[in-house]
Amino acid sequence: MKRFLIPLAVAVLAASALAQPAAAPPPDTVSVTGTGRISVVPDRFSFSASVQTIAPTVEEAVNENNTKVAAVIAALKNAGAKAEEIQTSNFSIYPQQDYSQQQQGKLPRVVGYQVSNNIIVTKKQVADAGRLLQAAIAAGVNQTSGLSFSVSDSARGRDEGLRAAFADARAKASLLAQAAGRTLGPAMNITELGTQNPQPPRPMGVRAMAAVVAEPVPVESGTEELSFTVSVVFGLR
């Protein structure tokens, strides 16, 4: 009886292997990326303005700067900016040195101190940009480093942009399938690759402007282009 056990086991294993279906080969696919670009109107602006003062001593330079910065902040608030929309940053003190006698082997001589304090304004009402800039300049700002517009809600235009990106990917895949003599099948995998804003902030440099500006600074927000990209794997028939 024992000599029949091994052949019987082999037969059972062989039958089990024959009963299992063969693994299906992976379907033919084509992988593409698609990009959708849309234009939206910015609803937020930001600019930075600095007050620089120079005096013979640190104390005098700091006190003068503090007085002017306080006046600028008060003017911004009177012009409609809220406290949470105003931020100070990059407070700095630098010695002003005289190098005229350096060739005679003497060390540079400190002749005064420069104090700088930067004010950043960020607000959603784009129409207020020119008026707030004018208010800051009239109150004592003597340097600005930039003016930029942006979209506060990252979801704005997302649905339209993603649909456009998928349509672009499908058009590419259809062309490739046709070139290969195949028919495009359904989308098997979709990956969002992110959103990009290719437009850099608009620079705006101002130095030593007049203390009083009669009219608001003319600014135009224009439109902002958002770019959406997706990666799609389509089946091929």
Q: What is the pLDDT of residues 90-133, one digit of tens each?
A: 999 999 988 877 766 777 888 899 999 999 999 998 889 999 99
pLDDT of residue 26: 56
Q: For residues 136 and 123, give the distance between their C-alpha atoms in angstroms, rounded to a whole number.
A: 14
Q: Could you give the 3-state DSSP secondary structure of residue 93?
A: strand
- The domains of the chain are located at 42-152
> Of 232, 227, 224, which is closest to residue 164 (Cα–Cα)?
227
Q: Which fold does the domain 42-152 belong to in CATH?
A: Alpha-Beta Plaits (3.30.70)
Q: What is the mean pLDDT of residues 139-167?
A: 88
216 with 134: CB under 8 angstroms? yes
116 with 90: CB under 8 angstroms? yes
Q: For residues 76 and 141, give the distance between their C-alpha atoms in angstroms, rounded to a whole number.
A: 11
Burial 161-189 (b: 16+ CB within 10 A, else e): bbebbbebbbebbeebbeeeeeebbeeee
Q: Could you give the 3-state DSSP secondary structure of residue 165?
A: helix
Q: How far is CA 159 from CA 34, 79, 121, 187, in A?
A: 14, 37, 30, 18
Question: Which pLDDT tens digit goes with each residue over 164-211?
Answer: 999 999 999 999 999 999 999 999 999 999 776 655 444 444 444 444
pLDDT of residue 107: 79
Q: Could you give the 3-state DSSP secondary structure of residue 39?
A: strand
If you average pLDDT over each of 26-30, 101-105, 139-143, which comes out highest?
139-143
This prediction has a pTM of 0.65
